[in-house]
Chains A and B, each alone.
Chain A
Amino acid sequence: MNLDHFGMDTITLAGPLEAKLRAIRAAGFTQVMLMARDLVGHPAGFAAAVAEVKASGLRVTGFQVMRDFEGLSGPLHDYKVDIVKSMLQMAKAVSAPMLLVCSSTSSMATGERAALVRDLQALAMLAVPLGIKVGYEALSWGRFVNEYPQSWEIVAEADRANLGIVVDSFHILANRTSFEHIDEIDSAKIALVQLSDFMWRDIENAEHRIETARHLRVFPGEGVHSHELADLVRRLDRIGYRGDYSFEVFNDDYQQMPLDLVGRRARDSAKWVTDQVLRRSLPVRGPGVAAHAAQSR
């Protein structure tokens, strides 16, 4: 695991797209997770935004975010299918290999498993000709699907080659979901792992959860769940996950800090995560070896 396995997310940084990309690159990262509004809000238009991403030399981790898609019916369903087609076309334009889909919060949606499976299967099918994977994430305030074991069960049941789950540490920590179920996931079906932490242990209600998620996340190693985060990453490593890690850090403070400072925090965080995994995978040194190392210093 090295810095190439990590990417920053445009949502963490303030300023125009070009500055964000430059800062991510300058911090030593080779990939970026893109938020649609960073591209469509570009003053010179979407095509210019795509050109900036391509010129940055950064690999695109994925494209976000499709919300409230599954479980709808009638005109609302048709409308959302239209929206997701546009999202897929934008993802394709910017060479994003994956579209992130968050579990629905809609009061109009059903939680019926068969409907959710069917809708995700259709979405995955729409993505096939475009060469895009679909990553389904359990939002911690999702109406019916709000924990990763549920999103995994649905993805497994849908059983499409280009459909996987997105593991987001924030939502797992916020809902205090057990890590035990990580072992049940087929690592090849993890489309992406998003990492972030926050600064307190108790989240009182859904509003507090949403507020924290959207404004007060921090990088791994900076929050109060470092022990749990290290455990999560080690578990993912143990089941064979070798894909990308993206820092999904929504933070109002970082939005008013110079980009290079935030980039440095992200880089320190990547090192922290790498150390957690290395600590497990390195062989334990015997006293003789340690003594020899001490002497040679």
Chain B
Amino acid sequence: MNSRESLPQPLNPLGIDGIEFVEYATREPLKFGAVLEMLGFVLVARHRSREVLLYRQGQMNVIVNADAGIAGDSQPPTLMALALRVRDASFAYKHTVELGAWPIPTRAGAMELNIPGIHAVGETIIYFVDRYQDFSIYDVDFKFLPGVDHAPKAVANMHFFGVVQAIGSGRSADWLDFYDHLLGFRNLPKGEYFGILPKGTLLESPCKKFYIQLIEPPEGSDDVVWDEEWLRLGIGTPDVLAATKELRERGVVFVDRENLHTSERGALTQFYLNGVAFEFVHSHLQPVR
């Protein structure tokens, strides 16, 4: 044990260490897979028994879940789970449930890996994963495709940056409590923003490796449907312009209008499949190792 390991981590009680994977639910896995491939992801593995696919680029793992029992009628593809790397998944689960998180019922079948998790916003789940160094969780449930690079390089050093969450009016303080007291996130001072959509409340993970952005409905939008949910995934890159150039060549279309256009700070893709978009952010973060 070195001296660093022996230090207590009061600000990161769960030992959160970045995002292991994000999971989308969709009934159109092929079409959504095509979107992911356009964004530089590669299909590397399939679940052994369910209609679940693993896409990857660099350190980003994206699970596409078309298992009908889970995906339901979700249209468009819905960001439904965030798996956090933690020091001890079992401890993280027990600790958060004691503090008032709603545990999810186990979803593992026979011989499948049981990943503990808690409910987050709406129908979403936060999983806790502690096997990410010596052993991969994907080895148990997934079958890697032959003839495919299982560790494809990321376009323009892209990496997970965070998640944008829609919340109800006046609910920022409630959700700040949720991410702060359950998971150790920190509210960044007003004015400290990333990307080209600077608004809402920005929360930094205790490992400082990713962010959650809380967005209340804009004023005067009482008639807009504004469900509480994870709206979109944020992807970081040290060079937004290089990333968007390469992605454009691959066919990705970015929003470009008067008040919202691609810049060195960030970019936003158009909606795909009736409502899934990806945000790109100039990032100081290093890809999670």
**CB-based nearest A residue for B123:** A129
Instruction: Kindly state the separation between the CA atoms of A128 and B182 in the bound complex, as whole angstroms.
Output: 11
Decide yes or no whether B143 CB sits under 8 A from chain A.
no
Whether the Cβ atoms of A122 and B100 lie closer than 8 Å is yes
Decide yes or no whether A216 CB sits under 8 A from chain B.
no
Tell me, rounded to whole Å, the shortest Cβ–Cβ distance linking B265 to chain A: 31
Whether the Cβ atoms of A125 and B101 lie closer than 8 Å is yes
Q: Mark A120-133, 1 if CB is under 8 A from B, else 0.
A: 01111110110100
Contacts of B181 in A (CB 8 A): 121, 125, 160
Whether the Cβ atoms of A128 and B99 lie closer than 8 Å is no
Tell me, rounded to whole Å, the shortest Cβ–Cβ distance linking B14 to chain A: 15
Contact of A131 among B99, B119, B171 (CB under 8 A): B171
Tell me, rounded to whole Å, the shortest Cβ–Cβ distance linking B53 to chain A: 28
Contacts of A162 in B (CB 8 A): 173-174, 177
Decide yes or no whether B102 CB sits under 8 A from chain A.
yes
Whether the Cβ atoms of A126 and B102 lie closer than 8 Å is yes
Decide yes or no whether A161 CB sits under 8 A from chain B.
yes
Instruction: Kindly state the separation between the CA atoms of A123 and B171 in the bound complex, as whole angstroms.
Output: 17
Whether the Cβ atoms of A161 and B174 lie closer than 8 Å is yes
Kindly name the residue among A121, A123, A125 whose own CB sees the greatest number of chain B CB atoms within 10 A: A125
Decide yes or no whether B98 CB sits under 8 A from chain A.
yes
Decide yes or no whether A181 CB sits under 8 A from chain B.
no
Whether the Cβ atoms of A122 and B98 lie closer than 8 Å is yes
Whether the Cβ atoms of B100 and A124 lie closer than 8 Å is yes
Known A129-B120, A131-B168; judge A160-B99 contact (CB<8 A). Answer: no
Q: Of residues 128 to 151 in B, which have CB atoms within 8 Å of A's CB atoms?
A: none
Whether the Cβ atoms of A131 and B177 lie closer than 8 Å is no
Tell me, rounded to whole Å, the shortest Cβ–Cβ distance linking B283 to chain A: 29
Whether the Cβ atoms of A125 and B178 lie closer than 8 Å is yes
Whether the Cβ atoms of A160 and B177 lie closer than 8 Å is yes
Whether the Cβ atoms of B100 and A125 lie closer than 8 Å is yes
* Chain A: interface residue total (CB-CB under 8 A): 13
Decide yes or no whether B121 CB sits under 8 A from chain A.
yes
Whether the Cβ atoms of A129 and B121 lie closer than 8 Å is yes
Contacts of B177 in A (CB 8 A): 124-125, 128, 160-162
Whether the Cβ atoms of A128 and B98 lie closer than 8 Å is no
Q: Of residues 86 to 142 in A, which have CB atoms within 8 Å of B's CB atoms?
A: 121-126, 128-129, 131
**CB-based nearest B residue for A159:** B177
Tell me, rounded to whole Å, the shortest Cβ–Cβ distance linking B21 to chain A: 21
Contacts of A129 in B (CB 8 A): 102, 119-122, 178
Decide yes or no whether A85 CB sits under 8 A from chain B.
yes
Tell me, rounded to whole Å, the shortest Cβ–Cβ distance linking A94 to chain B: 17
Whether the Cβ atoms of B178 and A122 lie closer than 8 Å is no
Contact of A125 among B99, B120, B122 (CB under 8 A): B99
Contacts of B43 in A (CB 8 A): none
Tell me, rounded to whole Å, the shortest Cβ–Cβ distance linking A284 to chain B: 37
Contact of A121 among B99, B119, B171, B176 (CB under 8 A): B99
**CB-based nearest A residue for B179:** A128
Decide yes or no whether B239 CB sits under 8 A from chain A.
no
Instruction: Kindly state the separation between the CA atoms of A162 and B99 in the bound complex, as whole angstroms.
Output: 15
List, sorted by A's number, 23 A–B pairs whose CB atoms are closer than 8 Å: A121-B99, A121-B181, A122-B100, A124-B177, A125-B100, A125-B177, A125-B178, A125-B181, A126-B100, A126-B102, A128-B175, A128-B177, A129-B102, A129-B121, A129-B122, A131-B168, A131-B174, A131-B228, A160-B177, A160-B181, A161-B174, A161-B177, A162-B173
Known pairs A121-B100, A126-B100; list 8 more (Cβ under 8 Å). A121-B99, A121-B181, A122-B99, A125-B177, A125-B178, A126-B101, A129-B178, A161-B176
- 9 tightest Cβ-Cβ pairs between the two chains A and B: A125-B100, A161-B173, A122-B100, A126-B100, A128-B178, A162-B174, A161-B174, A128-B174, A161-B177
